[in-house]
Structure 1
Amino acid sequence: MNKLYNFFNTEQNNLFWLKFFRISISIFIIIHFIAVLPDFNNLYSVNDGVLSYNVVDVYIPQYIINLPKIILYLNSFGIDSAITILGFKIIFVLLAFILMSGYYQNLAALLLLLMQIILSKSNIYFSYGADFFTSMSLFYLTLIPSNINSVGVSPLKKLFQVHVCIAYFFAGFDKLLGINWWNGESIWKAINLPFATSTYDITFLGNYPILLTSIGLGSALLELLYPFFVWNKKTSNFWIYSIILMHIGIAFILNLYFFSAIMIIWNLTFKFSLNNEKSYSLASA
């Protein structure tokens, strides 16, 4: 028990990792939101959407609050849907900038988290991994104190680190359960998805099945062994940068730019959080 207590409770000498995480996630959220803006009304409005709200809302329980429900509720008070949507956009972006500044970090993160969940529950067909990790990021920023002397900093930092390790371990473990990652089939399918490789044609890899198998097994093992090598000073940088390269590959091959970006942020935050020196900064990272 003492070892477990000491693991989660250590003296904190810098909060560089938290500042990096807060600013990076804020910038990510703003850019991601701006990317959605041209199609915002089509995705989240009540009457102007590509899909009818009644279709989108089929799998959403009544107790879940989302943007269309807010629009309908405010409509009953005579507030036009266009005003509601515009107000939502302004408040969302404003909260992201407030979070970036660090002003009332926990409160800003909490309010932004609530709005982000409302948005992600407004069209479940459009939500994917990037949205889930955005929610988790804001959850941590809601809980982690911005004061280095707070007793909550150390255990919550360790919780984040353990969370990253668990996520990668089970991602790799799940891949190795089936045969598709052992024979390269999953990689072959991935690079032939309709939305993938629109920029780069790499279907020639089909002529080299051993390469597809190596990429598949290599990715699975990198993830599975993440928690075993990332804590060691000698192997930590290699493992983290290898995972980052993997996500860069995913970004350019599968066009999953936002998902890859937030996973890179998580890995860099993990890397920075391992260093507890008082003078630690980006220059010494």
Structure 2
Amino acid sequence: MKARTTSGARGAVLRFFFAPAEATPLAALRIGVAAVLLGQAALVAPAFFALYDRAGFLQGPLQDEFAKPGLPHLGWLVALLGREGAPDAPILAGIAALYVLSLVALLVGLRARFAAAVAWLLHTILMMTGSATNYGADVFANIFLFYLMWMPSGDALSIDRRISRRPRGPTWSARFGLRVVQIHLCIVYLTSGIAKASGRGWWNGAAMWEALTMPDFRVFDFSWLARHAWIAVLAGWTVLLWELGYAAFVWPRRTRRLWVLMTAAMHLGILIFMGLYVFGAIMIVLTTSAFAVRAEPVRMAEGGDRPQAAVR
């Protein structure tokens, strides 16, 4: 009996991580991350040279000082590609163009893994150069670009899929890639919820008040919250419930849709009320692609040609 139970548990674990799945969620992740980063690139473009040229806001040695030590950054790449005394602008323009082209290729799924590798490398270099200005959106984008280098996200909704000479069905690698994304998100939200719950700010509403009224992030006037403190307290409790419950309630079918909608609503609120457009957008992409896009393969119904969802 014990051997049978152990064998059954092992089979369940193997099915959870390796049962063949469609690559559609990974394709949604690929498209969403690429679209958000293209939007970020459009926002940064007017100030790109002022931010990254060694004759811009940060002069050459100062830019090197702010870069992450021991890691590749734009100053290192410009020195590698350029000549002594040559202007940085043409090299920076080429790097920016290559970054945008890699994101476009990732968006449409053209050599998806290679495009993800190029985008990840250039995104890393940009992050290491402007490390003082990095925040959550940059970190998450970099992590999931790295994942996309190894995942079969080009097996669905892509040019790669359309020009492939052999059909691609459900694969174990698509399932494993999806599980990596899902488990990563669960760990992120659980640890974030535990960190918030460990202090008093999210229980008494102070953290919500600070988030909405800090000068750096204030988009609307929320001074009226001082007269209705219970709203800030309720909002703080809701955030704690959402983050602490994410890892448990985003998996079951009965609660998954609610938690996906709650996650999208929370990050939409961050996007609108704090002006963190890239962060809000990329976090919505991550949860919706991981938990709201169907990964289960379909099979032909017996005795007919109508597709039928496979039993999960």
TM-score normalised per structure 1: 0.91
Question: Out of 77, 101, 107, which is 1:70 matched to?
Answer: 77
Residue 250 (structure 2) pairs with residue 243 (structure 1): no
Matches within 5 A, 1:1-285: 1-12=10-21, 14-48=22-56, 50-58=57-65, 60-76=67-83, 79-145=86-152, 146-147=154-155, 148-198=169-219, 200-273=220-293, 275-278=295-298
| Farther-moved stretch of structure 1 (64-73 vs 245-254) | 64-73
- Give the partner amino acid of 1:252: I
* 1:17 to 1:61, Cα distance in 2 relative to 1, 3 A: closer
Distance 2:247 2:68 in 1: 37
Residues 277 and 205 (structure 1 numbering): CA distance in 2 closer, same or farther, change over 3 Å? farther
- The Cα RMSD (Å) is 1.9
List 4+ stretches of structure 1 deviating above 6 A: none
Identity, % of aligned pairs? 27
Bigger mean CA offset, 145-154 vs 90-99: 145-154
With 144-153 and 161-170 compared, the bigger mean Cα shift is at 144-153
Query: Would the aligned equivalents of 2:49 and 2:89 in 1 still touch at CA under 8 Å?
Result: no
Asked if the contact 2:67–2:130 (Cα under 8 Å) also holds between the matched residues in 1, the reply is no
Task: Report the residue type matching 2:45 in the other structure.
Answer: L
Cα deviations by residue, 1:132-184 (Å, 9 ceiling, x for unpaired) = 11111211211112344543221111111111111111111110000111111
Residue 240 of structure 1: CA displacement? 1.0
Please say which of residues 23-32 and 150-159 is displaced more in the overlay. Answer: 150-159
Q: 1:6 to 1:124 in 2, by over 3 A?
A: same
Q: Is the 8 A contact 2:123 2:142 kept in 1?
A: yes
Separation in 1 of the partners of 2:85 and 2:59?
Answer: 22
Check the 8 A contact 2:67/2:73 in 1, yes or no: no
Kindly state the Cα deviation for residue 62 of structure 1 after the two structures are TM-superposed. Answer: 4.4
Cα distance per residue 1:170-202 (max 9 Å; x no partner): 11111000011111110111111112233x212
Tell me, yes or no, if the aligned pair for 1:96 and 1:112 is still in contact at 8 Å: yes
Give secondary structure in 2 for the equivalent of 1:276.
coil
Residues 219-254 of structure 1: per-residue CA shift (max 9 Å, x gap): 022011101111111111011101111111111111
Relative to 1, partners in 2 of residues 1:133 and 1:61: Cα closer, same or farther, differing over 3 Å?
A: closer
Alpha-carbon distance between aligned partners in 2 of 1:153 and 1:277, rounded to the nearest angstrom: 11
Contact 2:267 2:283 in 1 (8 A): yes
2:160 matched residue in structure 1 = none
Contact 2:186–2:246 under 8 Å retained in 1: yes
Long gaps (5+) in structure 2: 1-9, 156-168, 299-306
Measure, in 2, the Cα distance between the counterparts of 1:76 and 1:22: 36
Deviation at 1:10, TM superposition (A): 1.0
Check conservation: 1:23, 1:100, Cα contact below 8 A: yes
Highest CA radius of gyration, 1 or 2?
A: 2
Question: Deviation per CA, 1:20-60, whole angstroms, max 9, x where unpaired?
Answer: 21112111111111100111112112122x23343343354
